[in-house]
Amino acid sequence: MKLMTAHKILIGTSIVFFIFFSWWELRNYLAADNVWALARSVLYLGVAVGFAVYFRSLRNKVL
């Protein structure tokens, strides 16, 4: 396995994790009306988008 392949797998896993975690915090906000849970949900979704943009930039890169 090449290093770039392993890197892409880890970044892809991070994207899925942060999307799930954002959804989890959104559920916490809807259940308890906790504003901090909503803030964390937006933050985690932003991190997932950032990782997705980074992942897309790796298409033609070689380590």
Residue 49 lies in a domain: yes
Residue 40 lies in a domain: yes
Residue 32 lies in a domain: yes
Separation CA 46–CA 62 (nearest Å):
26
CA distances (Å), origin 19, targets 22, 47, 56: 5, 9, 16
The reported pTM is 0.86
Residue 46 lies in a domain: yes
Separation CA 40–CA 60 (nearest Å):
33
Count of domains for the chain: 1
Give per-residue pLDDT as tens, 4-51: 889 999 999 999 999 999 999 999 999 998 999 999 999 999 999 999
Residue 4 lies in a domain: no
Residue 23 lies in a domain: yes
Separation CA 59–CA 12 (nearest Å):
13
Q: Which residues contact 34 (CB under 8 A, 6 or more apart)?
A: 28
Name the residue range of residue 35's domain.
Answer: 11-57
**What's residue 1's pLDDT?**
76
